[in-house]
Amino acid sequence: MSSVVVPFYQRRHKHFDQSYRNIQTRYVLEEYAARKAASRQAAYYESSGLGKTTCRLCARRARTLAHEAMQESRKRTHEEKTHASEEKRIRFASELSALEKEIHTARHRAREHLDRLAIQRMVEENMALERHAVEESISRAPEILVRLRSHTVWEKMSVSLCFTVQGFPTPIVQWYKNEELITPASDPTKYRIESKYGVHVLHINRADFDDSATYSAVATNVHGQASTNCAVIVRRFRGDEEPHPAGIMPFHLPLSYDVCFTHIDVQFLEKFGVTFGTEGETLTLKCTMLITPDLKRLRPRAEWYRDDVLIKDSKWTKLYFGEGQAALSFTHLNKDDEGLYTLRMVTKGGVSEYSAFLFVRDADALIAGAPGAPMDVKCHDANRDYVIVTWKPPNTTSESPVIGYFVDKCEVGLENWVQCNDAPVKICKYPVTGLYEGRSYIFRVRAVNSAGISRPSRVSEPVAALDPVDLERTQTIHVDEGRKIVISKDDLEGDIQIPGPPTNVHASEISKTYVVISWDPPVPRGKEPLTYFIEKSMVGSGSWQRVNAQVAVKSPRYAVFDLAEGKSYVFRVLSANKHGISDPSEITEPIQPQDTIVVPSAPGRVVATRNTKTSVVVQWDKPKHEEDLYGYYIDYSVVGSNRWEPSNHKPIKYNRFVVHGLETGEQYVFRVKAVNAIGFSENSQESEAVTVQAALTCPSYPHGITLLNCDGHSMTLGWKAPKYSGGSPILGYYMDKREANHQNWHEVNSSLITRTIYTVEDLTEDAFYEFKVAAANLVGIGQPSDPSEHFKCKAWTMPEPDGT
């Protein structure tokens, strides 16, 4: 047997060691060796002569010896074979033990590696959760701790404006001068901005007279914004260069840019007219004007209104006023922008204004036949994880009716829109649940009809998922050096273990598809965060079913869906904290899911009258049930075409509307439909056909009544002609008068006054009078002007003007 150690993978190959030979083969070889040895021994005896001389006894003896030798050889061979087998077994057992030990060690190492990976993953997840929890706990909107302070300085002096703000994420601060953004790069020698540890500073180097302005700073992060402002007055050394004498404008009083003086006159030169736009376009409405006197520091205030609502700078609208021009720019038109726009130039002495309508058509649908986008998306009743979203439906004049809406949500700062409802909601209101507390969201809505889905609406204003009651439960006490102490009512209520049941459980919203259950938190509520569980029971069933078994509700309201139509339900609510669950609240009154408002009835008789060469005035009777109306949509059609087109693309609230953009000389008919959150009414009956052409009307009212002269018994008055003559020349004017503290007006003239100046006789000396004037044309007498100021009938000298 070979003593060479053979590798494990070779030990099963027979040609490497004789001990691995076949047992049968080895036996044959041993037999052959024994016989050969016996034959050698016999040959030896014969060669030595012993075989011839020995006797038979000796021969037998020799054979016996040979046999014994053979047996001995066989025994020795068997022992060797047994010994080799034992060595082989021992070696195999040793190697098997080593292999098992290697496998065990490898398994142990693999298990340790997997355990280390699992622990590492668990630690990373816990750290991520803790980091997110810490960020959530410290996240807050910007808060101004130290506000800007006004400064009055001499020319060539430097000014530093500073304020302190806190918030998380760290707010971004922008500086403005008279509402215009300050960019240090545009004038690096003038401005320098510093921000360090929440303290923000604007340095104004070598201030000059033009640096007198209102400066403001706006701090913004994803949770909101805060602003502060101040005035900077730059004074000149020499008195003759002072714009205002010290006796009129004291040195210590800051001069605001909003100061408006009586003697500033505004006259509009170029005006914006009725305008048509399409969703997605950019557009600018502007007016040029003559301002007398045009003082750089003392100018009127320009205000823009849409349907009597003041417009401010935003993502969608930009305001500009300067160099004799006021402009309102739209960065991305939407149907929300449709309406009557009014520019008002405000002075201390009065208001000059001009108005015109802006129409915004639907953009081309992504799918042919799909409806237009909804509009006016708003959020109501926001709380920790809940908000109600409302909107207005689009006009579907030529498209198939809307069958429902999809509501989408997106967390502020992200672009990941998530659809809130699986099936289209049929009314223009939807309660969105599942919001994360402390985060801000925006929403949009898409309409659906048989052809497809519309474009999304304009996004809503951001809304934070916070409980407004939490602000009422905390009180902030400001102490010296900018420190403050926050006291919570929870700290005063003691350690509450298991909370009490909620109170005032009721249905705040009832519709055909859902019911919103609202309640008041338990009092006292304790320090621990509360969650709520809502249970429902069909009237008469006697069993209760938990509605939100999988989701814990944090807000004191919840929308319950999947209610059987025509069945009545009762509800109760349980409050819970980490210590346990309260007893159930009192049971509500039976509630049946049904729409609380109905589709409005059709408007009444529609009357269309001529207005201008391209417009018609349409009036109609309001429907019998006009509660909760969003407004009306007006459609028009050329007589005989049977093709209807929408006039307005956003519901109007009045029962009178001027339809613009019509062809002169063409005949049109009109119809009206009402709309609310449930849907549209039936179309009204068509109006009588009307031909589009200019109509004669009464003139508008005169204005600007002024006293020109008085001799103690008569007054000479002048005024300005009406802005609109009614399509016919003005024939003259009628004047009325009354004494101060009298209620009745008296006619001054019975025949027309053909000029804009007139002397009123037979007045009482030292008495006070006021006057009003009305213009007349072929159609009739227009509306009278506003009453004039109270003029005292006292003699005074003043050269009379020549002419009119």
- Tell me how far CA of residue 717 lies from CA of 507, 581, 733, 742, 776, in angstroms: 65, 82, 13, 20, 18
| 363 dihedral zone (left: phi>0; alpha: psi -120 to 50; beta) | beta
pLDDT at residue 31, as a whole number: 74
Q: Check residue 14 and report its DSSP letter.
A: G
Residue 214 has pLDDT above 80, yes or no: yes
User: Which letter, b or e, does each residue of 530-553 get, where b requires 16 or more Cβ atoms within 10 Å of its Cβ?
Assistant: bbbbbbbbbeeeeeeeebeeeeeb
Report how far apart, in Å, the C-alpha atoms of 256 and of each of 178, 232, 468, 628, 735 are. Answer: 10, 9, 36, 43, 40
Q: What's the per-residue H, E or C state across 556-610?
A: CEEEECCCCCCCCEEEEEEEEECCEECCCCCCCCCECCCCCCCCCCCCCCEEEEE
Q: What are phi and psi of 117, to 5 degrees?
A: -65, -45
Residues in the chain: 804
Per-chain mean pLDDT for the chain: 83
**Residue 600 near residue 631, CB atoms below 8 Å:** no
Q: What is the pLDDT of residues 304-331, one digit of tens each?
A: 999 989 999 998 999 999 888 999 999 9
Separation between Cα atoms, residue 216 and residue 213, nearest integer Å: 10
Quote the pTM value. Answer: 0.56
Give the residue among 557, 459, 469, 577 at the shortest CA–CA distance from 514: 557
Answer whether residue 103 shows pLDDT above 80: yes
Asked if 379 and 389 touch (Cβ cutoff 8 Å), the reply is yes
pLDDT at 175 over 80: yes
Query: Do residues 394 and 372 touch, judged by C-beta distance below 8 A?
Result: yes
Q: Is the Cα dihedral 508, 510, 516, 521 positive or negative?
A: positive
Q: Give the tens place of pLDDT for each residue, 510-519.
A: 888 889 999 9
pLDDT digits (tens, 9 = 90+) for 620-636: 999 987 778 999 999 99
Calculate the CA 674 to chain-centre distance: 29
Give the SS3 label for residue 58: helix
Q: How many CB atoms lie within 10 A of CB 626?
A: 14
Q: What is the mean pLDDT of residues 92-107?
A: 87
pLDDT at 644: 93
Between these two residues, 351 and 606, which has the higher pLDDT value? Answer: 606
Q: How many CA atoms lie within 13 A of 233 on its CB side?
A: 16
Closest to 448 (Cα-Cα) out of 358, 369, 332, 547 = 369
- What six digits make up the tokens of 507? 């249905």
Identify the band that residue 717 occupies on the pLDDT scale cut at 50, 70 and 90.
very high
What is the rounded average pLDDT of the residues 399-407? 93
671 DSSP assignment: E
pLDDT classification of 432: cutoffs 50, 70, 90: very high
Tell me the HSE value of 73 on the side-chain side, using a 13 A CA sphere.
17
For residues 65-81, average pLDDT: 77
Per-residue pLDDT at 53: 46
CA distance 455 to 444: 10
pLDDT of 696 strictly over 50: yes
Tell me: the pLDDT tens digits for 488-543?
A: 555 555 566 788 899 999 998 888 888 999 999 888 777 778 889 999 999 988 88
Check if the beta carbon of residue 273 is closer than 8 Å to that of residue 316: no
Q: With 80 as the cut, is the pLDDT of residue 54 above it? A: no
Handedness of CA 109, 113, 114, 116 (dihedral sign): positive
Percentage of residues in the chain with pLDDT exceeding 70? Answer: 85
Mean pLDDT across 552-578:
88
74, two tokens:
């066989």
760 close to 718: Cβ distance less than 8 angstroms? no
Instruction: Find where tokens 């309508």 sit.
Output: 357
Half-sphere exposure of 736 (CA within 13 A, CB side): 15
Answer whether residue 251 shows pLDDT above 70.
Answer: no
Neighbour-count burial of 215, counting CB atoms closer than 10 A to its CB (0-12 exposed, 13-18 middle, 19+ buried): buried
